[in-house]
Structure 1
Amino acid sequence: MPKHAFVALVTCFNEDETINYEATRAQVRRQVAAGNNIMCAGTNGDFTALTFEEKVRLTEEVVDEVAGRVKVIVNAGMPATFETLKLAREFDRIGVDGIAVITPFFIACTQDGLVRHFSTVADAVKSPVYLYDIPARTQNHIEPETARKLAGHGNIAGIKDSGGAQDTLEAYLEVAKDVRGFEVYSGPDHLVLWALQNGAAGCISGLGNAIPDVLAGIVNAFNAGDIPEAERQQAIYSAFRKDLYALGFAPAMVKRSLYLQDSSVGASRQPALLPNDEQDEQIREVLRRFDRL
């Protein structure tokens, strides 16, 4: 089976912090042209800053722009199961290819609580549901054994691992080996190729907003059996990640690096980090180093 690259798409904003839907559509077209699939309303899409109604419209706009050319996954995860369920039903109505559900945040959950949360959502929609683990941001971690238990649910299709720990990714991949139809998507940008080589169905990457061709290059080369080329592209991707993320909070650096290439994406809603002139110049230097400016 071919592997798939998804970009955790940025949400574009106007100067008054309203969503710029046309600029967001332009970013969708850019990613489609590169050969990448789309995840919207994720961490890199500022989902915590979006209202319920905005998430629904954003998803409608992205699905309409894609027009079936690539796959669209959208994140419905919120702290309460109640709102997560409402969002998931709306996304199901729109007709997405998958619904990601980030672990609840702010509310401390037991593993049994996570099983109830994810199962309730998966029971209520037709679209396949993907678990989304990013404990550094939510403080709730999906233990591998919990993932194994949830993998047995008929409508839970896989997991997006954004924990950054290779041993956890390995444990999720073991679940995928044992449970037919359960897919693992890698989130850490430096592990894209490693994950593909070890059984992942693909990756979901925020860094691909800034250099979409390199992300697509890793996956396309792997699918073609050209491992030296995949390794070359991964080396570029990892080096760009290291240099850019050294400058600050990763999603903010990705958004700003994209802004410096195309200002139509706008800044993020406050209180997100606003880079200063010195930091902008450091980001520009990274972009120049990788021939992006």
Structure 2
Amino acid sequence: MTKQAFVALVTCFNEDETINYQATRAQVRRQVDAGNNIMCAGTNGDFTALTFEEKVRLTEEVVDEVDGRVKVIVNAGMPATFETVKLAREFDRIGVDGIAVITPFFIACTQDGLIRHFSTVADTVKTPIYLYDIPARTQNHIEPETARTLARHGNIAGIKDSGGAKETLEAYLQVAKEVEGFEVYSGPDHLVLWALQNGAAGCISGLGNAMPDVLAGILNAFNAGDIAEAERQQATFAAFRTELYALGFAPAMVKRALYLQDASVGASRQPALLPTKAQDDQIATILRRYRLL
């Protein structure tokens, strides 16, 4: 099976913090040209800062710009099942390839509560649902046994693992081996190649916003059977990640690294972290080292 890379696309903003849809479309084209698929309204897309109506329009704009050239997944996850279902229905209407559902945040959930939450959304729409686990941000974690239960739902197609623990990723990959049609997508950028080698269907990367060609290079080399080249590209990707993320909150660093390459992406909505000039200088030095600036 051909493995696939998705980029968790940034949402571009104007100086008054309204969404810059034209700049966002330009970022879509950049990723399509590199050969990457798109995930929008995720953690790197400032989804928690977007209104319901903006998420719907953002998805319409992205789907229109993609025009069937690559796949589009959109995140519908919200703390309440009720609003998640409302968003999922809108995305189902628009016509996307998959709907990701991040675990509820702020609300402490039991595993039974997570099963009810994801199952209710999956029962509501025809578009395949992808579970989205990122416990460091939501404080809720999909246990592997819960993933196994949900994998048997007819409309839950896979999971994005952004937990960062190789042991959890291995457990999810074991579920994929046991349940036909259930796919695992790796979130941690330092584990892209490892995940592919161990049965993942692909990856969903935030760092790919700043380094799209290298991300695509890992996938292209792996799919071509050129493991040496895939390892070389992964080493570059991982080294860039280590240097960039050492400077601060990962999504903010990715957004700023992209901003220094193309100012049209804008800053994030407040109170998101904004790098200082000294930090910008450090990021620019890293970008030059990797010939991205």
- How many Å separate the matches in 2 of 1:109 and 1:95? 30
Q: Does 1:280 align with 2:280?
A: yes
Letter in 2 for 1:166: K
Hey, what's the Cα distance between the residues in 1 that align with 2:55 and 2:118? 19
TM-score, scaled to structure 2: 1.00
Which digits, 9 at most, give the CA deviation of each residue in 1:122-178, with x for residues without a partner? 000000000000000000000000000000000000000000000000000000000
Amino acid at match of 1:19: I
Task: Give 2:206's aligned residue.
Answer: 206
Q: Which residue of 2 aligns with 1:18?
A: 18
- Where 1:14 maps in the other structure, the secondary structure is coil
Q: How does 1:86-165 map to 2 (within 5 A)?
A: 86-165=86-165
TM-score (norm 1): 1.00
**CA-to-partner distance for each residue in 1:203-231, whole Å, 9 max, x for gaps?**
00000000000000000100000000000
Q: Distance in 2 between matches of 1:38 and 1:220?
A: 16
1:91 Cα deviation after fit: 0.1
- Give the gaps of 5 or more residues in structure 1: none
Counterpart in the other structure of 1:72: 72
Take 1:208 and 1:173, find their aligned partners in 2: how far apart are those partners? 23
Match of 1:187 in 2: 187
Match of 2:248? 248
Which amino acid letter does the alignment assign opposite residue 123 of structure 2?
D
Q: Which amino acid counterpart does residue 205 of structure 1 have in structure 2?
A: S
Match of 2:173 in 1: 173
User: What's the secondary structure of 1:170's corresponding residue?
Assistant: helix
Output the CA distance in 2 between the equivalents of 1:273 and 1:156.
34
Match of 1:219 in 2: 219
Number of matched residues? 293
1:43 positional shift: 0.2
Q: Percent identity?
A: 87
CA RMSD of aligned residues (A): 0.2
Equivalent position of 1:232 in the other structure: 232
Aligned mates of 1:165, 1:134 — CA distance in 2 = 11
1:274 positional shift: 1.0
1:264 matched residue in structure 2:
264
Question: C-alpha distance in 2, partners of 1:280/1:270?
Answer: 18
Which amino acid in structure 1 is aligned with residue 86 of structure 2? K
Which residue number in structure 1 is paired with residue 41 of structure 2?
A: 41
